[in-house]
């Protein structure tokens, strides 16, 4: 178990003390959440311009109508930026049945992707799944209402699906969200396989039964279950800390992005379509994320690679009633939310005092 710092600075990728250790599915979905950003950016910034190609891709995306479930008391839209909520669902239904029998579903990764007007900047804000927050009342798909409650942020998804997570994030940040994209377990494997696998370099032989991972030492290409196991394993590589694993996951995502945006990929319409088709089949979105919206977004993002997305994590501090949970550090979180809301430069991260650093125990 890891202890949360109190208080903490704005966490930037690469120097972030990790929140308390979640279950395996939470660790897995951290990388799947990052993958959803990669998929979203590649999906809208791909080189396919033919309307027929876009229509076929659009028809492969599973959609949900969230109209009427977001309420009327929503944050004002202040500018022409685009905010897309990225959700990792841990559902074991349907194509995900092979990953266990966990009942229901939760959002074990919640990331808000903010794209500035004109596509000049993109920021991904991660919301730690163990954050204790106040959630608003939500309508379920069947029309019943879940009352407002206090609890872990990922409970919103099980209460009322993506619409409830959407409503919760808006209430916590006062940032107007435009669309959502959801990705599941099977989507990760489909996208990696569509790329023909991703190259990694393993310093030593790996045999990790918990992650169902067995790899030889050295450079090699991983696909499917091997790719899942590689980004999921904790104790078989590195120092066993969550921070070390996150660095490995980020490196893996960089490899995915590099291969997906390789010149050979983007100049071959057939390969590009096959990959984007795999992406489209791997995501779920709101009905308003239409073909015209994707085409407009593609135009604004053209020239921006996924590597230019800046990642931050909502600053948190220890939750007094439970050492395994955290809460937002509002003094540090508000400047971050305000900067995104108003499309301003993000506040610089403050140095972490030595005594406040999070260490595994």
- The string of DSSP letters for 275-322 reads HHHHHHHTEEEETTS-HHHHHHHHHHHTT--GGG-EEEE--EEE-TT-
**258-287 residue pLDDT tens:** 777 676 666 677 777 788 888 888 888 999
Under a CB-based contact definition with an 8 Å cutoff, are residues 7 and 315 in contact?
A: yes
Given pLDDT bands bounded at 50, 70 and 90, which one contains residue 178?
very high
Q: What is the mean pLDDT of residues 321-336?
A: 92
When mean pLDDT is compared across 51-60, 76-85, 88-97, 207-216, the lowest value belongs to 88-97
Q: Which domains are assigned to the chain?
A: 11-185+269-341 (3.30.420.590)
Under a CB-based contact definition with an 8 Å cutoff, are residues 121 and 344 in contact?
A: no
- For 262, residues 6+ apart whose C-beta sits below 8 A from its C-beta are none
Mean pLDDT across the chain = 74
CA distances from 158 to 97, 153, 165, 166 (A): 18, 10, 9, 12
Helices and strands (H, E) in the chain, number of each type = 10, 18
Higher pLDDT, 332 or 94: 332
When mean pLDDT is compared across 46-55, 89-98, 223-232, 302-311, the lowest value belongs to 89-98
* Residue 328 scores a pLDDT above 80: yes
Given pLDDT bands bounded at 50, 70 and 90, which one contains residue 339?
very high
In this prediction the pTM is 0.73
Three-class SS of residue 333?
helix
Q: What angle do CA 131, 164, 76 make, to 5 degrees?
A: 95
* Residue 75 scores a pLDDT above 50: yes
Higher pLDDT, 331 or 54: 331
123 vs 75: CA distance, rounded Å? 19
* Residue 95 scores a pLDDT above 50: no
DSSP state of 198: E
**19-32 residue pLDDT tens:** 333 333 333 334 44
- Helix (H) / strand (E) containing 273: helix 269-281
**181-237 residue pLDDT tens:** 887 777 778 888 888 898 998 888 998 887 788 999 999 999 988 887 887 776 788
212 vs 48: CA distance, rounded Å? 37
**What pLDDT does 313 receive?**
80
Q: What is the mean pLDDT of residues 36-59?
A: 63
Q: What are phi and psi of 359, to 5 degrees?
A: -130, 145
139 vs 159: CA distance, rounded Å? 8
Q: How far apart are the first and last CA of the chain?
A: 6
**100-123 residue pLDDT tens:** 444 445 455 788 888 888 767 778
Pick from 314, 317, 237, 311: nearest CA to 34: 311
Q: What is the mean pLDDT of residues 161-178?
A: 96
* Residue 240 scores a pLDDT above 50: yes
What sign results for the dihedral spanned by CA atoms 16, 31, 137, 71?
Answer: positive
- Enumerate the β-bridge partners of residue 109: 88
- Per DSSP bridges, beta strands 283-286 and 62-64 are parallel
């Amino acid at each position: 178990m890891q202890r949360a710092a109190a208080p903490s600075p704005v966490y930037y990728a690469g120097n972030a003390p990790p929140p308390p250790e979640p279950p395996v599915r939470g660790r897995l979905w951290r990388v799947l959440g990052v993958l959803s950003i990669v998929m979203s950016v590649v999906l809208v910034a791909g080189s396919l311009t033919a309307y027929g190609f876009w229509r076929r891709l659009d028809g492969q995306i599973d959609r949900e109508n969230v109209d009427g479930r977001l309420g009327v008391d929503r944050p004002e839209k202040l500018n022409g930026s685009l905010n897309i909520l990225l959700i990792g669902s841990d559902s074991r239904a349907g194509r995900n049945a092979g990953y266990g029998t966990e009942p229901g579903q939760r959002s074990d990764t919640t990331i808000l992707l903010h794209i500035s007007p004109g596509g000049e900047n993109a920021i991904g804000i991660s919301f730690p799944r163990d954050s204790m927050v106040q959630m608003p009342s939500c309508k379920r798909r069947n029309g019943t209402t879940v009352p407002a409650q206090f609890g872990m942020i990922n409970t919103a998804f099980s209460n009322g699906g993506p619409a409830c997570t959407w409503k919760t994030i808006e209430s916590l940040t006062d940032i107007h969200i435009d669309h959502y994209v959801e990705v599941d377990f099977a989507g990760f494997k489909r996208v990696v396989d569509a790329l023909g696998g991703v190259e990694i370099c393993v310093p030593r032989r790996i045999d990790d039964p918990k992650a169902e991972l067995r790899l030889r030492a050295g450079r090699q290409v991983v696909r499917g279950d091997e790719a899942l196991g590689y980004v999921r394993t904790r104790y078989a590589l590195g120092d066993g800390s969550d921070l070390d694993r996150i660095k490995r996951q980020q490196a893996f995502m960089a490899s995915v992005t590099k291969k997906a945006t390789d010149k050979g990929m983007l100049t071959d319409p057939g390969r590009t379509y096959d990959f984007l088709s795999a992406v489209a089949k791997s995501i779920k979105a709101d009905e308003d994320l239409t073909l015209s919206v994707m085409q407009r977004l593609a135009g604004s993002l053209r020239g921006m690679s996924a590597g230019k997305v800046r990642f931050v994590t909502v600053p948190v501090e220890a939750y007094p009633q439970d050492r395994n949970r955290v809460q937002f550090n509002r003094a540090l979180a508000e400047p971050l939310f305000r900067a995104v809301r108003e499309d301003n430069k993000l506040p610089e991260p403050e140095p972490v005092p030595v005594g406040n650093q999070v260490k595994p125990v």
